[in-house]
């Protein structure tokens, strides 16, 4: 078996207060093959990087986004013959000593996508981060059939050959979602490795903007779900049906009460006929998470508004509304009589 040649990749943007400690931690675990992509930083990042002699430094003149920085690093590492790039964020939330765990997983699972799973149950973990991660995990499962615990982690080991052959649309935070969805569609297996995380640091700077970045991620998921319905799911049904079994198990859930299933279906039907066409699922899914409903049943019921169901909705509305219209009845005539 060929030994996997792995490097470290650090994308960074204006993290001058934490970058040096991250790089020192990488040095402390004996890593020498380190790529750093400076994504147009305007702080002291350039001077900090110049103080480390062994780094392969790649620079963007202007900030292009985390996804673009990762892709620049992937291409450079692949050209130099590396099989894997282990990515670690420069904001200090990850412990560089966990690189050893990811390297071990690469050696044991060559060709797999390795995900560093953070413990999101700690008291210092922001509520919006925990919710956003659960939300992302659900969408990933809908799109691919894989159940992952942390789809938003930046601590990963990417297999470079399939990643560099991939044509991605996105260039910012949402790239980390798009990349793993596309890898899953290619049949790349996933391996999850527990890693530590810190959110309580005073010097930590996050460039994630909840409003615009969450909107971009939601729009990306809408596109990916559409592609999954039109291509990935039918393909899975004809090549083993694993996704169908996963969705069926999620919908049935023996431990869930009948009342909760009924409420989930009712809520889905309500969202399906709510006159916000094109946005029903974008609204229904977050609310289903917030209300702790069965998401599969909510999504399935919300699809009542798809075009083939419209005649049934109209006819059902007519029947249910007739008792409230006194004795007046709408006469439906044969159009040939007009």
Dump pLDDT digits (tens) for 144-181.
Answer: 989 999 999 999 999 999 999 999 999 998 999 999 99
Same domain, 191 and 268: no
Asked whether residue 115 is domain-assigned, the answer is yes
Domain end marker among 157, 191, 209: 209
Q: Which two tokens stand for residue 203?
A: 């010097």
Same domain, 162 and 257: no
Give percent of the chain above pLDDT 90. 52
Asked whether residue 216 is domain-assigned, the answer is no
Does residue 50 have a pLDDT over 90?
Answer: yes
Same domain, 184 and 280: no
Write the DSSP string, 15-35. -HHHHHHHHHHHHHTT---EE
pLDDT at 243: 58
**Domain extent at residue 278:** 253-324
104: which residues sit within 8 A by CB, 6+ positions away?
none
pLDDT at 335: 47
Same domain, 203 and 258: no
Does residue 41 have a pLDDT over 70?
Answer: yes
Does residue 54 have a pLDDT over 80?
Answer: yes
Same domain, 304 and 179: no
Phi/psi for 43 (5° steps) reads -100, -145
* 140: alpha, beta or left? (left if phi > 0; alpha if psi -120 to 50): alpha
- 119 pLDDT band, cuts 50/70/90, is confident
pTM reported for the whole predicted model: 0.71
Same domain, 165 and 314: no
Asked whether residue 188 is domain-assigned, the answer is yes
Same domain, 280 and 172: no
Same domain, 105 and 189: yes
Asked whether residue 62 is domain-assigned, the answer is yes
Same domain, 169 and 260: no
pLDDT at 217: 84
- 338 pLDDT band, cuts 50/70/90, is very low
Asked whether residue 156 is domain-assigned, the answer is yes
Q: What's the rounded mean pLDDT across residues 202-221?
A: 72
Same domain, 146 and 289: no
Inter-residue contact 177 to 221 (CB < 8 Å):
yes
Token look-up 């202007």 returns: 62
As a whole number of angstroms, the distance between CA 227 and CA 232 comes to 7
Question: Which of residues 300 and 323 earns the better pLDDT score?
Answer: 300
CA angle, residues 120, 117, 222, in degrees to nearest 5: 85
Q: What's the rounded mean pLDDT across residues 37-57?
A: 95
Q: Domains in the chain: how many in total?
A: 2
Same domain, 15 and 142: yes
Q: How much of the chain is helix, strand and coil, in % rounded to 5?
A: 55, 10, 35
Inter-residue contact 144 to 247 (CB < 8 Å):
no
Asked whether residue 56 is domain-assigned, the answer is yes
Asked whether residue 228 is domain-assigned, the answer is no
Does residue 199 have a pLDDT over 50?
Answer: yes
Does residue 327 have a pLDDT over 90?
Answer: no
Q: What's the rounded mean pLDDT across residues 44-49?
A: 96
Largest CA distance in the chain: 88
Same domain, 205 and 57: yes
As a whole number of angstroms, the distance between CA 150 and CA 134 comes to 8
- 237 pLDDT band, cuts 50/70/90, is low
pLDDT in tens, 242-273: 656 666 777 788 888 888 889 999 998 888 88
Asked whether residue 168 is domain-assigned, the answer is yes
CATH of residue 109:
3.90.550.10
């Amino acid at each position: 078996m060929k030994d996997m040649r792995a490097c470290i990749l650090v994308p960074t943007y204006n993290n001058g207060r934490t970058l040096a400690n991250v790089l020192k931690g990488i040095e402390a675990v004996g890593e020498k093959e380190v790529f750093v992509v400076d994504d147009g930083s305007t702080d002291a990042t350039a001077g900090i990087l110049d103080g480390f002699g062994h780094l392969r430094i790649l620079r963007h003149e202007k900030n292009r986004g985390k996804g673009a920085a990762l892709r620049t690093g992937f291409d450079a590492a692949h050209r130099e013959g590396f099989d894997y790039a282990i990515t670690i964020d420069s904001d200090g939330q990850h412990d560089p000593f966990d690189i050893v765990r990811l390297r071990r997983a690469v050696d044991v699972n060559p060709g797999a996508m390795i995900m560093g799973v953070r413990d999101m149950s700690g008291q210092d973990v922001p509520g919006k981060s925990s919710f956003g991660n659960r939300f992302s995990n659900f969408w990933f499962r809908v799109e691919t059939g894989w159940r992952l615990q942390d789809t938003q982690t930046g601590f990963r080991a990417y297999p470079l050959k399939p990643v560099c052959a991939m044509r991605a649309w996105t260039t910012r935070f949402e790239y980390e979602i798009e990349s793993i969805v596309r890898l899953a569609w290619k049949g790349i297996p996933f391996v999850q490795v527990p890693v530590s995380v810190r959110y309580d640091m005073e010097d930590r700077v996050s460039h994630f903007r909840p409003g615009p970045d969450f909107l971009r991620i939601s729009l990306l998921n809408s596109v990916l779900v559409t592609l999954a319905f039109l291509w990935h799911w039918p393909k899975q049904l004809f090549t083993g049906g694993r996704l169908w079994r996963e969705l069926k198990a999620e919908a049935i859930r023996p431990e869930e009460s009948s009342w909760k299933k009924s409420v989930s279906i009712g809520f889905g039907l309500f969202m399906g006929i709510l006159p916000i066409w094109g946005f029903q699922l974008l609204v229904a899914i977050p609310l289903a998470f917030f209300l702790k409903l069965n998401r599969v049943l909510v999504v399935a019921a919300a699809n009542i508004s798809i075009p083939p169901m419209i005649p049934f909705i109209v006819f059902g509305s007519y029947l249910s509304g007739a008792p409230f219209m006194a004795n007046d009845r709408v006469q439906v005539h044969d159009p040939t009589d007009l």
